[in-house]
Amino acid sequence: MATEKENRKKTGNSGKNSKKRKHYLPYNKPVKKGAYPLRPGVEGFFITCEGGRESRAAHEAINVIESFYEELVGSPESKDEQSELPKKPMNKVTKFTYSDSSSDDGNDDDDYDEDVSNDQTDIKGKSEDISSKDSVSELDVKTEDSETGDADVVEPPLKKPHVESEQTKEQHKSVDKLIEEELAEMGDRSKRRFLKVDTGCNGVIFIQMCKKEGDPGPKEVAQHMMTSLASTKKHVSRFLLRLLPVEITCYTSEDEIKRAIKPLISKYFPEETDTPHKFAVLYDARANTGIERSKVIDAVAKSVSSIHKVDLAKPDIYITVQIVKTLCLIGAVEKYKELAKFNIRQLTSPDQ
């Protein structure tokens, strides 16, 4: 009987421990896809980060990209204010002429001293007259008070209560309406400029850019960000590692890549040009082992016109190809190696 009880205790304890282990240990759990997964036809920024910090890195990336986007575009209100303000203070020296005759400096100084002395005597005489008049008026007031007796005490006027006018009420209402509109825009996902999109892959986040006509694209924003960070060495992020612009998102088949890459090739590698470019293809794959690297690189390189040549040593433009599961993310960057391969942490780290 004792042996059966001991076996039950052992099995019961092992069951409880196994449940606790399953509950508290987070490994062997699939990455949950959010409500907005990555899909074809999206442009934005492909960002690598520390594993397990995807949500924090996404919020940080939106703030960083938004700040550099505003810096690149520039607000028109600040430009108008700067144009209205004078660049230098207008410090002008004013000279007073006391005589029309063109006399020497010494004579002018003497005349000025005489005028000052005369003015001072006049001011003294006026002050004496005013003081005598004040003393006489005080005596008259005292005699009147003695004759009349106790005079009525004059009470100070009561302050009127502050009543808000209709204009101030309308202003308060308008401010409240503006705040409500801004909160509604922040809540409305369709009106945001930068959105978080779930990739379903550890250590990788994607920030979608809702581009309008006339706005700079992901390449311009990323290029401006990297050049400014390289010059200032300002630490702007805690979790972000590498940031690459993405202008084309499609499936990983060769036919889809050849079809989707045509707008990017016509934009950066025109067929009729006097200045051909040198280019190279950068390939990287995550969570996908079924596609061959050489086939993807050949599909991208063959879609470029023969006028432009491949140069792996010093290319003018790098075509970046990132494979994430079943999707292919394509973009173009310049000065890739000079800007530390677009690694934010390496750009902002001090030179050793």
- The encoded tokens of residue 51 equal 């594993």
Do 257 and 328 touch, CB atoms closer than 8 A? Answer: yes
Condensed to tens digits (0 to 9), the pLDDT of residues 294-306 reads: 999 999 999 999 9
Give the number of residues written for the chain.
352
* Distance from C-alpha of 222 to C-alpha of 229, rounded to nearest angstrom: 11
* Distance from C-alpha of 32 to C-alpha of 54, rounded to nearest angstrom: 12
The share of the chain scoring above pLDDT 70, in percent, equals 58
* Distance from C-alpha of 36 to C-alpha of 224, rounded to nearest angstrom: 28
* Distance from C-alpha of 278 to C-alpha of 313, rounded to nearest angstrom: 10
pLDDT at position 238, please? 92
pTM over 0.75: no
Separation of first and last alpha carbons in the chain: 72
Shortest CA distance to 205 belongs to which of 350, 305, 64, 6?
64
* Distance from C-alpha of 31 to C-alpha of 38, rounded to nearest angstrom: 14
What integer is the mean pLDDT of 280-294? 93
pLDDT at position 213, please? 84
3-state DSSP assignment of residue 153: coil
Q: Which helix (H) or strand (E) holds 319?
A: strand 317-324
Q: Provide CB contacts within 8 A for 303, sequence distance 6+.
A: 258, 261, 262, 265
* Distance from C-alpha of 43 to C-alpha of 210, rounded to nearest angstrom: 8
* Distance from C-alpha of 217 to C-alpha of 184, rounded to nearest angstrom: 26
Residue 255 scores a pLDDT above 70: yes
Condensed to tens digits (0 to 9), the pLDDT of residues 122-164 reads: 555 545 554 454 444 444 444 444 444 444 555 555 555 555 5
